[in-house]
A and B are shown apart, each in its own frame.
Chain A
Amino acid sequence: MQNSSTKIPAATSARLSDMIRATTLAIEANRDTINALNVFPVPDGDTGTNMLLTLRSVVEDMPLDPKESANNVAKIVARSALLGARGNSGLILAQYFKGLAEAIGEDTELTGEHLAKSIRIATTNSYKALPNPVEGTMLTVYRECAEVAEKSALANDSLESVLTDVADEALASVRRTPDLLPVLAEAEVVDSGGFGFAVMLDGALRALRGETPVGRVIEVPMPGKQKFSGSVKADFVSASEEIDWGYCTVFAIQSDSKLDLDKIRNHMDRIGRSPIVDGTDGIAKVHVHMEDPGEALTAGISYGQLSNIEIGNMDDQTAGWAADRRYSAATAAKPATPVDVAIVAVAAGDGLNDLILSSGMGAASIVEGGDTMNPSVADLLEAVEAAPSDKVILLPNNKNVVPAAKAVSELSEKDVRVVATRSVQTGIAALLEFNTTLSIDENEEAMNDVVGEVGDGRVCLASRDVTVYGHEIRKGMAFATFNDEIVAVGRDPLFVLTKMLELQAGDAEIVTIYTGESLSSEQVETATESLTNKFKELEIEVVHGGQPHYEYLVAVE
């Protein structure tokens, strides 16, 4: 397989650095187009910017010494890509560089086979990294490129020949993305991140061939005879503007009978914006932007049982809130006394922060972050490095933060264990298992055990008038989810909470209720009194959480 005439010799591994620099220049030349293509998962027009910023952080860290071997360059690049990763596209991009480092391994020269291997590793890791991998995105482009690269490398191991085949396939794959992801077809675009990857490959190839300029404007590969207009379809734009202050609502519908996906899609289209509905006979996955998510959930219930509900608020003000309150681990960390095992937990809300610190027995620190502002790998890493021990247990407290937390455990020199807590209330339950007299192994095991035993409840308010169960209800009404299933909709958060507890807390040993920042002290008092009177058999504790979005967060143990 080795063909010495086609390798980049170790002495000129600077060419690998040149290729990586070229990908940056290529993205720079096409950034606005990539931004304009961005409609999924959120049409916020930042894919190109995110990819560029991720690549820039890579280039900044790249060793300047031309004698540096290719494998060392790849290792450094992999680490800085992961640390500098911005947004979803940045994180997936980082997987590519991680794959590159793994593929080269201890070899000092880069071959076509390495390239094929690197894209394959990137594919596998990216599918794992995302909680809900979606086809018609960068993931698909990676996967299809990996297949072509592997075939190409078998035929000819030359880096140039494999890279040429892959660059062609990337564009072809991007062209097919609207067939796989309806929201792209609707907006008359192709996948932005996938296109970004194709652009990078073009830049790398031009650098390898010594062509200039390495970064050139690439025409967007559109399906059929379409041409990219330079922006998303006009009515999609107006819809996006409206949904900017709405909720991205995602859930699954399960039914014993066959689900009519077209009918559900039409229904969602009538009540919300940009619905994506796909699935098989018994399960439909719905993604829809709603002014009020309750309406979509109510509509969903008419088709079957709901599960895996995720509601994200894309409100600018909310993002601003999170940004204001987010402070780096360095400023949050007090000069702490060394401990045997330290805990780093992600949380948003003054009450939740206090609860975590007070329950952490001097070993806990906090990284600020919540549903709308997930902390980056770098934020988490910084907190882990600042923690007063070489052994750290990391509690992501949100299922979307779990991949970033796992990345930290790979990046840090410290012994970092991730207990995959899916919510802050689960995280606190896990934290209470923490025992300063036990080893990190024993603590990790005890905390993992409790994670599976906690029932996860949330109550939040509808923000405007909606229809629920066929009744017109007004702004301020509430719905409750329990373990990602909707369990109650009603007029009053406390009523809905009570309903949830009636249904889900019958044999509970303890119920902890964290009250949100929007509740007044009178509301909290009323809730505490009413719940303790109603559920005399239950051990109930109501505490101030101060979290945004949710009137109540509930842990049922």
Chain B
Amino acid sequence: MSIAVVTDSTSDLPPDIAAQHGISVVPLNVHIEDETYLDGVTISADEMYRRLPDRSVIPTTSAPSVGSFVEIYEKLGETHDEIISIHLSAKLSLTHGSAVNAVAEMGSSGPKIEVVNTEQASMALGWTAVQVAEAIAAGMSLEGSVELANSASERAVFIGMVDTMKYLVRGGRIGKAQGFVGSLLKIRPILTLRDGEAHPLERARSRKKGIARIKALVEEYAPLEKLAILYTTDEIDAQDIANEMASFAPDGEPVVAQLGPVVGNYAGPGMLGLGLIRSENS
């Protein structure tokens, strides 16, 4: 009896962490002009951010096909009896639906598969997958894993301070953060995901103030079980935040993770943020 853990590329899990926990990552698709790329596989994050500011090219993204889920589930079924497939908020993408359809497609032929909609994205999703993998390694059942995936994703928090709302707007993922759009003054919106879609948290007048708020939010959410500092283009800033906030990570070392091309397509260059899971007792 063994259980495989699957997530998608919007988890922004650094490859080494995914590998360490044996998590399979299904890539979403990125479309730029006539080309289709696999998120983080055939297009790197850096390449994506280099091309993003070009106004003549608006990249789009799409969910993995049902076929690609069938393919990976069948492959994992060769070595595992059960699969838990943990995904991005269904309000942001068809990925969850695609996975559910893949399971229906496979019928009762393959392994037993549970698909979870976390209503999260990025490392808030990534950490949920990691916690589930850790629990499975410690002997947790598929049923228990689904429960844990749900409870962990409820305690998970995604925070993103973006330089501009334009990528979120043009990508159609504005959600409830409409009020942040239209300000004639430059503001740094700080967003979160609530009920699976973008939600305004606050707005900072300057990047410095915004970074200070991000740090303050880490303290507000503490104690934490997992902590990642997120960035699209500014690794040094993210590293600085990680160093300062190190004591809030359970192991004293927050993960610094770069947003992949798909999530980054909506956050845009200059984004900084957090992906964390609060303690059950917090």
Contacts and interface: CB of A to CB of B under 8 A. Distances in A.
Contact of A436 (B200, B205, B208, B209): B200
A539 B270 CA distance: 14
Contacts, number: 49
Interface string A402-446: 000000000000000000000000001100100111000000000
B206 A355 contact: no
Contact of B182 (A358, A436, A437): A358
A543 B186 CA distance: 10
Contact of B183 (A359, A437, A510, A557): A359
A446 to B, nearest CB: 9
A429 B203 CA distance: 11
A557 B186 CA distance: 14
A430 to B, nearest CB: 11
A436 B179 contact: yes
Contacts of B203: 432, 435
Interface in B76-125: none
Interface size grouping (class) on chain A:
10 to 19
Interface residues of B, number: 17
B185 interface: yes
B205 A429 contact: yes
A216 B135 CA distance: 95
A437 B184 contact: no
Interface in A500-516: 509-510, 512
A148 interface: no
Contact of A510 (B179, B182, B209): B209
B206 A539 contact: yes
Nearest to B207: A539
B197 to A, nearest CB: 14
A362 B179 CA distance: 7
B205 A432 contact: yes
B200 A543 contact: no
B202 interface: yes
A116 B187 CA distance: 54
Contacts of A429: 205
A509 B187 CA distance: 13
Given A362-B179, A435-B202, A436-B200, A355 B184 contact: yes
Interface of A: 354-355, 358-359, 361-362, 428-429, 432, 435-437, 509-510, 512, 539, 541, 543, 557
9 contacts: A355-B185, A359-B187, A361-B180, A432-B183, A435-B200, A435-B202, A512-B205, A541-B186, A557-B209
Given A509-B205, A541-B186, 8 more contacts: A358-B182, A428-B185, A432-B205, A509-B206, A509-B208, A510-B206, A510-B208, A543-B184
